[in-house]
Structure 1
Amino acid sequence: MATRSKASLIVAAIVLVSLLSSATVAHGRRLVRSYDEPCMEMRLYLHDILYDYSNSTANSTSAAVTKPTALSTAVSNPGYFFGRMVVFNDPMTEGKALPPSLEETAVRAQGLYLLDKKDDFSAWFAFSIMFNSTEHRGTLNLMGADPNTATRDISVVGGSGDFFMSRGVATLSTSAVEGFTYFRVQMDIKLYECYV
């Protein structure tokens, strides 16, 4: 009887160890998790060119998909467009310069933002960064509030490919603004959970 219970304990221990090891290994990679030091860092610039009927459709990378609401025109300060939703497919670069071809960049941001404040420019983002280069393949998924402050953080909530199940934070800062049609955002991305 003692031999049988000892064997059962050994089998249970083996099952537990295999479950724990499989929880930290996925797709042949091992999970690296640290809350002190990021396992990966990168800086990218998002270039958004909003189509507003006055600029070219060829170089526009985003479009408002809602008209200003009655509430936004009645109570919003001019230009804040409370309730507007914008869908984008923006090029992203490692440097500040716009790429020569807006449609053929190896890194793109695809998603939407909602203008969510009546008396100031403030937005809520939900988008994926799509990587298709020799250096990285896959996506990073980000979402969060984008208030009108010098820097703000949004969450990296997951990913795929080289960024499988990544978690972290992206610190945003507005790098350039030209009227209501162009803005450039610097994104300092730090991942604290990575599969390597």
Structure 2
Amino acid sequence: MARIVHITVLQLLLISSLLSSFSMILVCAEDYEFVKSVNPKFLGLKKEKLTHIRLYWHDVVDGSNPSAVTIVQPPSNSSKTRFGLIRMFDNALTQGPDPSSKLLGRAQGFYGFASQEDITLLLSQNFAFVHGKYNGSTITLMGINSIFNKVRELSVIGGSGLFRFARGYALVTTQSFNASKSEDAIVEYNIYVLHY
């Protein structure tokens, strides 16, 4: 025969309070597993260093084998700044400004004409290195590139391989630009990157 259990309001409040405390303990335990501090040595990180990298970025828009292709055309009523045009690129990164100089890596990303007032690009790219001790490592750069300014600055926002936890900046200077015909460009990058 079933017994009827009578619970007072005080007992109900006590049980409710205990269950609530227990669930908070479980949530706190879950948060600890989700986010916790880690000693950098656990990841093999030693002393942070500053590295300077100088290389040349080759944007080839014209010809039979372009490295930059338009993926979005601006509307027909667009401004003189080409606002809205977007290009995807896989550009050579070389040791010198000559396109035949030693290949150090590839710049892979996109740029979009992002201003209605002047020719300014929103640039997002990974520098994927294929030579030397940084082979297989990447640096990620992003920022606004007002291409007619003598020197522009982009942010280093991350990296992989030997550039894990990378941060820094790049000074960007156009070496050559064929504005009237091909729009091909050679750009010097001086990158200052903090990494482990």
Task: Classify the TM-score, shorter chain.
Answer: 0.7 to 0.9
Relative to its length, the structure with more helix (as a share) is: 2
Given candidates 187, 190, 196, the residue that maps to 2:189 is 187
Provide the identity percentage. Answer: 26
Aligned-partner SS, 2:174: strand
The answer (yes or no) to whether the contact 2:95–2:101 under 8 Å persists in 1 is no
Match of 2:158 in 1: 158
Check the 8 A contact 1:41/1:190 in 2, yes or no: yes
Q: Cα distance 1:26–1:88, how it changes in 2: closer, same or farther (>3 A)?
A: farther
Q: Retained in 2: the 8 A contact 1:126–1:144? A: yes
1:112 to 110, 123, 134: 110
Deviation by residue 1:6-61 (Cα, 9 ceiling, x = unmatched):
xxxxxxxxxxxxx87x443364231416xxxxx1101111000014xxx21x2x10
Moved over 6 A (4+): none
**1:123 maps to which of 110, 117, 121:** 121
Q: Counterparts in 2 of 1:46-195, with a 5 A limit?
A: 46-51=57-62, 55-56=63-64, 58=65, 60-72=66-78, 76-77=79-80, 80-99=81-100, 105-137=103-135, 138-147=137-146, 148-179=148-179, 180-191=182-193, 193-195=194-196
**Residue 156 to residue 120, structure 1, CA distance change in 2 (3 Å):** same
Aligned with 2:163: secondary structure? Answer: coil
Which residues of structure 1 form unaligned runs of 5+? Answer: 1-18, 34-38
Deviation string, structure 1 residues 78-134 (Cα, Å, up to 9, x no partner): xx3111000000001121100279xxx441100000111234221010000001223
Shift of 1:71: 4.1
Given that 1:171 and 1:189 are in contact with CA atoms closer than 8 Å, whether structure 2 keeps it comes out as yes
Larger Rg over CA atoms: 2
Deviation at 1:181, TM superposition (A): 2.5
Q: CA RMSD in A?
A: 2.1
1:24 to 40, 46, 54: 40
SS at match of 1:98: coil
Instruction: State how far apart, in whole Å, the 2-side matches of 1:43 and 1:108 are.
Output: 14
Q: Distance in 2 between matches of 1:114 and 1:172?
A: 17
Structure 2: which 5+ runs fail to align? 1-35
Higher relative contact order (CA 8 A, sep 6+): 1
CA contact (8 A) 1:115 1:121 kept: yes
Going from structure 1 to structure 2, the CA distance change for 1:134 and 1:113 (only over 3 Å counts) comes to: same
- Name the CA distance, whole Å, in 1 between partners of 2:42 and 2:175: 37
